[in-house]
Amino acid sequence: IKAGFETLVEGGYQPEMAYFETCHEMKLIIDLIYEKGFKNMWQDVSNTAEFGGLTRRDRIITDEAKANMKEILKEIQDGSFATEFAVEGASAYPKLFAQRRLEGELLIEEVGKNLRVACGLEKEE
C-alpha cells in the first residue's frame, strides 16, 4: 500500500488522490475477496482494474518477493524470529519503537489522518 502511494505521489498525483486509490480502494477489494473470493471479486471491479490486476500482478509479487516470504517463514519456523523478538523485548524494544516513530512521520500517515478527520472518521487532536 505504501509503495503504491509513494509511486503515485512521485508520479505527480496529489497525495489525497493517491491515498484514496491505494488505502480506500484496498479496503473495498479486501471486502470483496472476503465476501466473494478472488475469482468473483474481479466481477465487481472495473474491466480496467481487472485487466491491470490480472496482467500486471506478477510484476509486483515477483519470484524474489516470494523467496523473501519463504525466508521470513523459515525464520518463524526455526525460532530465529522469536529469539530476535525476545532480545528486542529484553532491551525495551528500541527497534520497534524507532519503526513506530518512523511510520508516524510518513506522508501517507499525515494525508490519511487529514482525510479521516475531514470525513468524520477521526476527531482532530
Model pLDDT for residues 30-58, shown as the tens digit of each residue: 999 999 999 999 999 999 999 999 999 99
> Taking residues 110-118, what's their average pLDDT?
94
> Taking residues 19-28, what's their average pLDDT?
92
Closest CA to 117 of 10, 34, 32, 19: 19
Amino acid found at 123: K
Q: What is the DSSP letter of 70?
A: H
* pLDDT higher than threshold 80 for residue 125: no
High-pLDDT (> 90) share of the chain, %: 93
Q: Residue 123: its pLDDT value, please?
A: 87
Q: Residue 90: its pLDDT value, please?
A: 98
Rounded-to-integer distance, Cα 68 and Cα 74, Å = 10
Q: Residue 87: its pLDDT value, please?
A: 98
Q: Residue 124: its pLDDT value, please?
A: 82
Mean pLDDT of the residues in the chain? 96
Where are the chain's structural domains? 1-61+93-119
C-alpha cell at 44: 465487481
Confidence of residue 121 (pLDDT cuts 50, 70, 90): confident
